[in-house]
Amino acid sequence: MKDRPNIKFGTDGWRAIIGEDFTFDNVRACGEAVARNLIQTERADQGVVVGFDTRFGSKRFAKAITETLNSFGIKTYIFDVPAPTPACSFSVVDQKAANGVMITASHNAPEWNGFKVKSNSGGSAAPEEIVDIEAHLHQVLEGTANRISASQAQNHTFDVVTSYIEQLRRVIDVEPIKNSRLKVVVDSMHGSGAGILPAVLNGGSIEVIEIRSEPNPDFPGMRQPEPIGPNLKPLSSTVREMNADIGIALDGDADRLGIVDEAGIFFSTLEVFSLLTDHFMGRKGETGGIACTITMSSMVDKLSKNYGAPVFRTPVGFKYVGPTMIENSCSMGGEESGGYAFRGHVPERDGALSGLMFLEAMIMSGKRPSELLNDLHDLVGPHVFKRVDVAYSESKRTAIANKISSALPDSIGGLTLESCDRRDGVRFNLSNESWAVVRMSGTEPLLRIYAETPDEASLSAVHADLRKMLSV
């Protein structure tokens, strides 16, 4: 008899390999857990939005969820086509639903799929709600859940893309962008963000060229659809060949952003969020504060002091960032992986909106991406960043976790340790305004090592010391 699957909701939902743990039975069990939680909290009459991306089987898994929810008397609103995760987040608010469920594994490799839960605010479900859903899931999988009788509810298919595009146009004034003469290359990475930015910006003098726009669940040419430097060589080369002004990349479910400048040079995710922070506060006058994870750049702290706005640090994951944005009326939210959120929209990552914000920064400043980055470094000083992901076998998980929890060096890479933050793994705050974070991924068997320093030599030294300390 097969062991009961160990389904855990990590940093952003539950993810597993299709056909192994990610099966129809387990997906239906997750759907039932959501249903039972809504019934227990007396929110079942509000319904649930169910979305899906371009991954293998996503639409069929989404249909299985609607059937499960409907059988518990909960009405559902399902996408008519594959669409971005932020479209699901917005639709929860637009439909006044109690929850959203999105079938996607975001940036994971092709063999993965996932189950994300959205709150009624459109953000990632808060940790407290996930704990309740997991408790119901445990009972469902054990066969100990109480019997619930309910009348069959209806499933409604709706036009998700049109309403989402209309929302983006409400959040940001796209007319100046549309009427610019910018040449923009968009890399959709064969994911669900294909066609969104061209549709938002059509009808003007801007030229938008889209590459890798055909849906393909194999995500050819990349290990996984994550908008990081090694995966964006086609985007960089196209920007150079077309003499474009900028390259914009969206990950597999289009909630993350990657940027390459007019020379095809990749900007780190920390540089992009810092540039957007400078734009949102400096040019748009938004000083309501910033919610960001412990892996976000120290440039944000310098910008917050410059503009008189507070910074609220959280553990990794938008399930922490989103609620912190709401609680503190923040203007922005962001995490190191390239997910950024803005006031006026849902408190959740949105790759397309983030790309539009970057284009707005170019229009309002009249500057190219490289010039914006130079201006940022003139303001806050030079910063270089690197993240390394190290795969590990499950047998080593406990040993690695113990090393992380007990690590307390006097210095790292020649930089003195000034303080530690252990809310998620450990963040080492180092001298010379440098920092490093070591934590275990909440969605994959990966050890993540992050560091930011003023120069490449220090960065290399910090990473070398951390890997030696952890024996990886």
**pLDDT for residue 122:** 94
**pLDDT for residue 2:** 52
Distance between CA atoms of residues 421 and 423, nearest Å? 6
- As its CATH architecture, domain 14-161 has 3-Layer(aba) Sandwich (3.40)
**pLDDT for residue 1:** 37
Radius of gyration of the chain (CA): 22
Structural contact between residues 190 and 216, judged by C-beta atoms closer than 8 angstroms: yes
- Mean pLDDT for each 10-residue chunk of the chain (472 residues)? 71 90 97 97 97 97 98 98 98 98 95 96 92 95 92 97 97 96 97 97 96 96 93 98 98 97 97 96 92 95 94 93 94 95 95 98 98 96 92 86 90 96 94 93 85 96 93 78
- Phi-psi map region of 343: left, alpha, beta (phi>0 left; psi -120 to 50 alpha): beta
Amino acid letter, 324: T
Closest to 263 measured CA to CA, from 282, 284, 244: 244
Q: Looking at the domain 384-470, which fold is it?
A: TATA-Binding Protein (3.30.310)
Residue 417 burial (C-beta neighbours within 10 Å; 0-12, 13-18, 19+): middle
**pLDDT for residue 444:** 76
Beta bridge partners of 115: 14, 103
- Phi-psi map region of 421: left, alpha, beta (phi>0 left; psi -120 to 50 alpha): beta
Distance between CA atoms of residues 33 and 135, nearest Å? 8
Sign of the torsion angle spanned by Cα atoms 190, 267, 341, 180: negative
Distance between CA atoms of residues 101 and 42, nearest Å? 18
Closest to 264 measured CA to CA, from 243, 282, 292: 243
pLDDT in tens, 268-288: 999 999 999 999 999 999 989
**pLDDT for residue 104:** 97
**pLDDT for residue 3:** 63
Query: Would you give the DSSP letter of residue 395?
Result: G
Closest to 33 measured CA to CA, from 100, 155, 150, 130: 130
Domain 14-161 identical in fold to domain 180-380: yes
Structural contact between residues 33 and 145, judged by C-beta atoms closer than 8 angstroms: no
**pLDDT for residue 9:** 87
CA 463 to chain centre: 24
The ranges assigned to domains in the chain are: 14-161, 180-380, 384-470
- As its CATH architecture, domain 180-380 has 3-Layer(aba) Sandwich (3.40)
